[in-house]
Structures are given as structure tokens and as C-alpha cells.
């Protein structure tokens, strides 16, 4: 069984506790503070610095080294794929 689920808006643990929320292009904590941002193909931290890039299959860090693939993330998080799933994994789960 997978440890996390993503329904398109909320990232939850297996027991249903909310870990993060996707609000348009922003990733927010359950208390409402900003954890990160999605900017086209880039994932940014709360200060606006690029921390990763997603090209549709591979996730690369700021040094352009591959750190994971979408298939690796889908083994941990059940949910709709795409950059939002990658951003949640990168900012919250990892």
C-alpha cells in the first residue's frame, strides 16, 4: 500500500491527515503558510529560488542532475501525475 495520496488538491497520509494543499501554483502547509511554488516547469522554494525542474518524466535539481523520475514518485504517492505531484513529493515527502 502507498504511504501518501493526492486527490488533485490535498496531499494526505495513508490515515487521512493533510500534509499539504495545492492552491493554484502554490504549495501550502495545513496551517496556510507557503511551502513552495510551481512556475511552468520549475519548482521553487518559499524564497523563490529554483530547486528543481520537471521535463515530463525526469526531475532534475538546480545542478541539472537527475534526482528521480515520475515513476519513482508514483511508487510513493497515489494520485494524478504531473508537476503538481512532483512538487508535493519534492517539497513535502522527500
pLDDT at residue number 35: 96
Residue with cell 530547486: 51
Which pLDDT belongs to residue 81? Answer: 80
Q: Any idea where the domains of the chain sit in the sequence?
A: 4-93
| pTM summary value | 0.91
Rounded to the nearest angstrom, the gap between the alpha carbon of residue 17 and the centroid of all alpha carbons in its chain is: 17
Binned at pLDDT 50, 70 and 90, residue 80 comes out as confident
The set of residues, in sequence order, having a beta carbon less than 8 Å from that of 65 and lying 6+ positions away, is none
For 23-74, what is each residue's pLDDT tens digit? Answer: 999 999 999 999 999 999 999 999 999 999 999 999 999 999 999 999 999 9
In the predicted model, is pLDDT for residue 1 greater than 70?
A: no
Question: Within the chain, what is the greatest distance between any pair of CA atoms?
Answer: 36
pLDDT at residue 76 is higher than 70: yes
Amino acid at each position: 500500500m502507498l504511504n501518501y495520496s493526492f486527490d488533485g488538491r490535498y496531499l494526505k497520509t495513508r490515515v487521512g491527515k493533510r500534509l499539504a494543499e495545492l492552491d493554484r501554483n502554490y504549495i501550502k502547509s495545513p496551517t496556510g503558510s507557503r511551502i513552495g511554488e510551481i512556475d511552468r516547469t520549475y519548482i521553487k522554494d518559499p524564497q523563490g529560488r529554483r530547486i528543481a525542474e520537471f521535463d515530463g518524466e525526469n526531475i532534475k535539481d538546480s545542478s541539472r542532475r537527475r534526482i528521480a523520475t515520475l515513476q519513482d514518485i508514483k511508487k510513493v504517492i497515489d494520485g494524478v501525475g504531473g508537476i503538481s505531484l512532483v512538487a508535493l513529493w519534492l517539497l513535502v515527502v522527500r
